[in-house]
Amino acid sequence: MLSFEPTEEQKLMRDSVGDFARATLGAHAREHEAMRGVPDAVRRAAFELGLGTMDLPEDAGGQGLGLVTTVLLEEELGRADAAAAFALAGPGAFGTAVAELAPPLERAALLAPFASGFSVGKIEDKMGLRASETAELVLDDCRVPEDNLLGGADAHAGKEGFMTAMKTFDTTRPLVGAMACGIGRAAYEHARDFVRERYLLSRPIPRYAALAERLARVGRRLEAARALVHHAVYLADLEQPNAKEASMAKAYAGQAAVYACTEAIDICGAHGTLAGSDQLLEKWFRDIKVFDIFEGTGNIQRVVIAKRIVSGLKAF
């Protein structure tokens, strides 16, 4: 039976991760943005809670929670502060002890024994997600010993290496979609509360109705996005093919959340553009755009979907 209702255990985990994320990440979002990172104490607290290793198998040092549970938690992280969540690990599958505990420049040194000719280049300044660092990776005559190839040498023979790399997207795209849903939800809830407080009692009725209608459209798109994300990971947990569904989830959630943030600012008017510690709409607006770009742009997702639907060919 297909059920979208989380179990009691999943609800408990979702709520405790949500509480942690709001108190530790969301409440300090401006500070983390200003320092372009998160303090080590926060990194360690998140690691102790198991964030970032949630969907890794237990024999690989993870918690083996499965992707359905992981997307519930990713949405809570995105709802609190996606930028800081990325600084902790990046969505799910990227979470390793190295990524959790080491700042980017130290990661290169930690990875050195596994490959030669690999270094970290310039750390970029960027529009959003500023609490997490994005750096160029420099491969200069890079050599990876056969024993260190992920999945073993067979997984990289012929075109298999590329296919293996592409397959990781079947997992990571819904995770990115879940985090986008979280940011979109944050903006939507902010705008909803603003409309309630500002117009519910002293309602200029036509305006209240118009704004409520716009909120309804945002809410509808976010719920549809969440359903696509959950379907994609439901298939992945059953080890069924899900490339088309993963791309649908990523493409739709990225755009739905960009729409949510844009509409939320517009609904709140000038208030939506203010930058205070509890006025984060303008930050979410900056953070969300890249969710329609990285992990494959919306256009690329549509190429993948079209190949699967129209020609029946394997995408890529």
Ligand X SMILES: Cc1cc2nc3c(=O)[nH]c(=O)nc-3n(C[C@H](O)[C@H](O)[C@H](O)COP(=O)(O)OP(=O)(O)OC[C@H]3O[C@@H](n4cnc5c(N)ncnc54)[C@H](O)[C@@H]3O)c2cc1C
Distance of closest approach, residue 303 Cβ to ligand X, in angstroms: 5
Q: Give 33 or 295: the residue with its C-beta nearer to ligand X.
A: 295
Q: Give 18 or 296: the residue with its C-beta nearer to ligand X.
A: 296
Cα separation of 187 and 174, whole Å? 20
Cα separation of 64 and 59, whole Å? 9
Cβ distance 37 to 103 under 8 Å? yes
Q: Give 55 or 218: the residue with its C-beta nearer to ligand X.
A: 55
Which two structure tokens, joined as six digits, stand for 129? 């997600």
Q: What is the CA radius of gyration of the chain?
A: 20
Sequence-separated (6 or more) residues with CB below 8 Å from residue 132: 37, 83, 84, 86, 87, 90
Distance of closest approach, residue 128 Cβ to ligand X, in angstroms: 8
Distance of closest approach, residue 273 Cβ to ligand X, in angstroms: 23
Which residue's Cβ has the minimum distance to ligand X? Answer: 299
Q: How far is CA 253 from CA 83, 115, 183, 250, 264, in A?
A: 17, 35, 10, 5, 16
Binding region for ligand X (CB under 6 A):
126, 129, 134, 290, 293-297, 299-300, 303
Beta partners for residue 59, in sequence order? none
223 is catalytic: no
Cα separation of 72 and 255, whole Å? 19
Cα separation of 266 and 284, whole Å? 13
Distance of closest approach, residue 302 Cβ to ligand X, in angstroms: 8
Cα three-residue angle 168-247-300, rounded to 5 degrees: 95
Calculate the CA dihedral of residues 194, 80, 39, 108 and round it to 10 degrees.
-130
Q: Give 129 or 268: the residue with its C-beta nearer to ligand X.
A: 129
Which two structure tokens, joined as six digits, stand for 209? 């109705």
Catalytic residue among 74, 100, 245, 295: 295
- Helices (DSSP H) in the chain: which residue ranges? 8-24, 29-34, 40-49, 67-88, 97-101, 104-111, 160-199, 205-237, 243-268, 281-288, 298-306
Residue 193 — φ and ψ, nearest 5°?
-65, -35
Which amino acids are annotated catalytic? 295
